[in-house]
Amino acid sequence: MREIVLDTETTGLDPLTGDRIVEIGGVELLNHMPTGRTYHQYINPERMMPKEAFEVHGLGDDFLRDKPVFRAVGQAFLDFVGDDSQLIIHNAPFDMKFLNVELEKVGLPTIPMHRATDTVQMARKKFPGSPASLDALCRRFGIDNSARTKHGALLDSEILAEVYLELIGGRQPDLVLATGPRQQSGTQDEWRPRPRPVPLASRITESEAAAHAAFVAKLGDGAIWLKRQETSV
């Protein structure tokens, strides 16, 4: 199973009022394991960066002026995410809205919302009432985010990949005990448990055994412990 942990940085909060994407970062997971393959692209938003956006991202007009516009990189982005990979995004509706507005503007296929997994909703479901920000989840899971002095799409994607793996059960979510037939290892017979040659010594004291017997006697003839004694005789 291929997943892409994704993040975008933007000039503001609403693409329908003219805000644009200025950075995209993505990390590839295969069967919940990072492959080392990433996607990272700065984008010229073709508009001035608001002061508040610069303070959040640290990306100014001078830095972005010579970067490619979205129409020049949109297809390469779609090629990276592929046709069926699930996108893992923190606050997915926000990023998906920006991405699809940008894709639609340049005549490229949009990405269906069902392909996005929202880690904010995952965190709120798993830890109801607790903060679900990326920084809060890093603190909860003991993930080092000290390099996150500014919002950066690739760095945030790498951090989110660690958070996501913790949300789904840790670093090895698919590690389960095998329930199928055992592999033979040089013998024709499968391993089967056998009785111990010498039973383990009881660790129950006489006073504990007496207290248990008195407790069971109060439960009447239907006590499960009495039934076990009858079937073992």
Q: Where residue 213 falls among pLDDT bands split at 50, 70, 90?
A: confident
Give the integer Cα–Cα distance in Å for 109 and 93: 17
Tokens representing 140 are 């909860």
**For the residues 60-64, what does the mean pLDDT come to?**
89
Report, as an integer, the average pLDDT of 133-152.
Answer: 85
Contact 99, 111 (CB under 8 A): yes
Record the pTM: 0.71
Pick from 18-22, 145-149, 187-191: least confident:
187-191
69-103 burial, b at 16+ Cβ within 10 Å, e below that, comes to: ebeebbeebbebbeeebbbbbbebebbbbbbbbbb
Question: Secondary structure of 187-203 in the HEC alphabet?
Answer: CCCCCCCCCCCCCCCCC
Structural domains of the chain, ranges and CATH numbers in brackets: 2-167 (3.30.420.10)
Distances, alpha carbon 47 to alpha carbons 10, 51, 74, 144, in Å: 11, 12, 18, 34
Which entry of 40, 114, 151, 212 is annotated as an active-site residue? 151
Q: What is the pLDDT of residues 65-86, one digit of tens each?
A: 999 999 999 999 999 999 999 9
Residue 124 three-state SS: helix
pLDDT band at 145 (very low <50, low <70, confident <90, very high): confident
Q: Distance from first CA to last CA of the chain, Å, rounded?
A: 54
Beta bridge partners of 6: 26, 89
The pair of structure tokens assigned to 110 is: 């949009």
Handedness of CA 14, 146, 124, 110 (dihedral sign): positive
Mean pLDDT of 85-99: 98
Q: Does the pLDDT at position 177 exceed 60?
A: no
Q: Is 212 a catalytic residue?
A: no
Mean pLDDT score, 46-70: 84
